[in-house]
Amino acid sequence: MNRRLYFVLPDIKSARRVWKEMLLACVDNRNIHFLAEPGTPLGKMQPADTMERTDMFHEGVAGIFVGAALGLIAGALTLFAPEGYFPVWYTNLHWTGILAFTIGIGAACGAIGMAMLGISLANTDLEAAREKIRHGQVMMIVTVPIHRLPEIRRIMQVLHPEAEYYGVWPALHPVFP
């Protein structure tokens, strides 16, 4: 299970030094991303991808619940509709089948629709650092296995005290043991 660590670095020069330290700590280059003001030359450092920059994931999860609720309402309306109003294959299902079908379709459509909406929205988790990024600072996003979190934090605290720690996503500990 992987976690994302967020750090804000003072400038691009500091970001390059930290990037090299992460590579020396055997963090794969694919797991180190940087979020900077548009137009900032990152060189060989990887820019943050769509999932990290936008609210696509959060909105998609919300869309599952909204779509499932609308699917439940559609299924309930189907159950109370007149006999010949819907195709025979659909209304010959048991009522649980009808509800399962409409909830499933609603959840899928809601997730896709809301995720497409979320692509156009900035990531709300990064809102605290957005102003600093606008003023030339750089956010580093490191994805590592959960057992490496203390090691990476220690590297950053000892070698780069100028870096501001902005948390872990998802939470540091699993919900269920």
Q: Confidence class of residue 174 from pLDDT cuts 50, 70 and 90?
A: low
Q: What is the pLDDT of residues 14-68, one digit of tens each?
A: 888 888 888 888 888 898 999 888 877 888 888 888 887 888 888 888 999 999 9
Q: Do 120 and 49 touch, CB atoms closer than 8 A?
A: no
Note whether 2 and 30 are within 8 A (CB). Answer: no
Got the DSSP string for the chain?
A: -EEEEEEEESSHHHHHHHHHHHHHTT--GGGEEEE--TT---TTSEEP-HHHHBSHHHHHHHHHHHHHHHHHHHHHHHHTS-GGGS-HHHHTS-HHHHHHHHHHHHHHHHHHHHHHHHTTSB-GGGHHHHHHHHTT-EEEEEEEEGGGHHHHHHHHHHH-TTSEEEEEES-SS-S--
More confident residue, 152 or 171: 152
According to CATH, the topology of domain 2-49+125-169 is: Alpha-Beta Plaits (3.30.70)
Residue ranges, comma separated, of all CATH 3.30.70.260 domains in the chain are: 2-49+125-169
pLDDT digits (tens, 9 = 90+) for 118-149: 888 877 777 777 888 888 888 888 888 888 88
The strand pairing partners of 28, in sequence order, are none
